[in-house]
Amino acid sequence: MKNLLIVESPAKAKTIGKFLGPNYTVKASVGHVRDLPKSKLGIDVDNNFEPNYITIRGKGDVIKELKKEAKKADNVYLATDPDREGEAISWHLAKILKLDESKNIRIEFNEITKKAIKDASKNPRKINVDLVDAQQARRVLDRLVGYNISPLLWKKIEKGLSAGRVQSVALKLIIDREREINNFQTEEYWTLDLNLLKSRKKIVAKYYGTLENEKIKKVKIKNEDEVNAILNSMDDKKISVYDIEKHEKSKKPYAPFTTSSLQQEANRKLNFTSKKTMMVAQQLYEGISIKGEGSVGLVTYIRTDSFRLSDEAMESAKDYIIQNFGEKYYFSRVYTKAKKPDVKVQDAHEAIRPTSLDRDPEKIKENLTADQYKLYSLIWKRFVSCQMADALYNITTITFNSNNNIFKTSGSILIFDGYKKVYQYSDGTDDKVLPEINENEELDINKIDKEQHFTQPPSRYNEATLIKAMEVMGIGRPSTYAPTITTITSREYVVKDKGSLLPTDMGFLVTEMLEKYFSTIINNKFTAEMENNLDEIASGKVDWHEIINNFYKEFKVHLDVAEKEMEKIEIKDEVSDVKCDNCGEFMVIKKGRYGKFLACPNYPECKNTKPLKDKESVEETDIDCDKCGKKMVKRKGRFGAFLACSNYPECKNTKPIIHEIDVNCPMCNNKLAIKFNKSGRRFFGCSNYPDCKFVTWNEPTNEKCQICSSMLVKKNEKLVCTNKNCGKEEK
């Protein structure tokens, strides 16, 4: 019996294909096959908001092949991702391939391993129409908002702007934080530290407060006069120990990763953007070719907001921990669905975890790219550590008293590393050993430090903290965090400033307009409530048409008011310091399809334009373009600097910049040059490429091997012969 199994991606198809044997043909739909048209609204508002789906442009050949394979198959199964989006793709495929939706044609799995695929293929189910309806409702909602408000922004402000049900709320969070920063009133405060000596060991005791009626009261020092008053009331030579408190403190490991926490941790630890994290995680989920195994999925499904772990996964963690670290390191933990009761979780999938603990990151490192290894290590270690014992510390807090002025210091000693054996992160309890001190003992004051400070405004959001805020407020879902951030940055509503998300003037302007005319819709409370409504649709408790109808009634009122009352805002072009070659006017900076460019302000009388030269990334040279004769400029690209024609876009000629070194090529005697591959890794190659293709990863020298006369290169502080048959090493 011939079976056809359809998944979304070719990578996933390749991985799954080797698990199912010759009776199965596995093909990829390459994502969605049907969607709403881009050229129009595509929703029949007067006909119960029925969507008008069309075949996505460019998918003709894919659909033709799927239909051809479906005709040859006895059974067709749809194995798209196990979420609403995946369910909708299966539903669209069923429509296009004219499959019987009353039959069990849907296959679902949480990980791409042989066992998971085999088990899933034996237990197909019907397409879940409730999940499809929830996805349709989200798509229709987003289309109604985006395709009605965006043209309004084009008409009243500037072309190319956009608004969205989720993206505009995320932008508003960033804007509101910037307003907090701008309105923040700084307050003065002071700190007072004593540097004490005990057995030649330094102790820093910080001012805490006062002792009143045998009770310690915490006090904030507001100005220098208060500091001086404290110092005048103290003995500036010695201070006595008032109290010593010792206790054990335990630190629990973090829960396994959800989509949100993975994006946040990868941003903090690896400096990955949310988009990059999801791209690499998708690769790990769909399958990596492992030596001796072939292609296999390394992690479970990556779009989840659940902490849940399967019994099988927890048992594998137990066995691994006991076998490798001993029983004292194991502690069984079941994590709750959400840290806060008001955060709604779908809980459709497990947390993100490795599919097998046997694939230790170090064992399979050679099969992974650098980014894949980093992210997989993070997921693997987080999962193992979540089933490990607490880390234990001995905490000592010493209280000092000088004429009822209280100072404190504390120290900690790690007495059992627990989960930290596997997963390290700073938790503020690093080892700080204090010398042995007794109560009522007097210590010498070696130095007094007083310092003025001012309270600081709240920090701007970065990608990690914005995702956390969206998660806590219920804005969007795991699959939407990364695309939302990508949208607001690509629209230039925000820019990245040293990792922080800084709103632009355009971001402020658009947000102010939306707040004025769509305040009840573009806010976090409404967006979170709508997410709950979508969950209700997914669980079959409410009809999606009813939710859309209720939304549209209010939305249409706001839309009509905005159409009538929103004033047209004229945004003046930024004037540059570049004069027009034709008429002498200072050119202005404009936005085009391919970015910013210079244009003459006398358009249409003068139609002169020029590429905008970013002073930070463009540098003029005396090198002539060998295609058009114009001067080449030095630009910075993804993999470093390169030469490009200044006559772009008319001439698109580019050249690599060659950094020659004083070493001759052993093959052609031309100079060698420092080069970089697509991953940014440095190597050395002949400057006469492509005529000469000599390369070496190690630093070349002009030294010759005494045995075979081949070039010697530096490797691990040794000189090594480049002739593999020789392999001689010298000091």
Q: Which residues are catalytic?
A: 301
Cα 670 to its chain centre, rounded Å, is 44
Closest CA to 688 of 710, 662, 658, 712: 658
CA-based nearest residue to 173, from 430, 465, 538, 408: 465
Distance from C-alpha of 427 to C-alpha of 391, rounded to nearest angstrom: 11
Answer for the pair 350, 306: CB distance below 8 angstroms, yes or no: yes
Q: Return the SS3 of 46.
A: coil
Query: What backbone phi and psi angles, to 5 degrees, belong to 614?
Result: -70, 120
Q: Compute the distance between CA of residue 480 and CA of residue 82 in angstroms, rounded to an integer.
A: 16
CA distance linking residue 423 with residue 418, whole number of Å? 9
Rg (CA), the chain: 32
Q: Is the peptide bond before 354 cis (omega within 30 degrees of 0)?
A: no
Note if the bond before 690 is cis, omega within 30 degrees: yes
Following CA atoms 360, 366, 371, 374 in sequence, which dihedral angle do they give, to the nearest 10 degrees?
30
In this structure, the strands spanning 54-55 and 718-721 are unpaired
Among residues 129, 471, 435, 144, the alpha carbon closest in space to that of 304 is found at 471
Provide the 3-class DSSP secondary structure of residue 330: strand
List the Cα angle 318/320/324 in 5-degree steps. Answer: 120
Give the SS3 label for residue 704. strand
Name beta bridge partners: 397. Answer: 245, 410
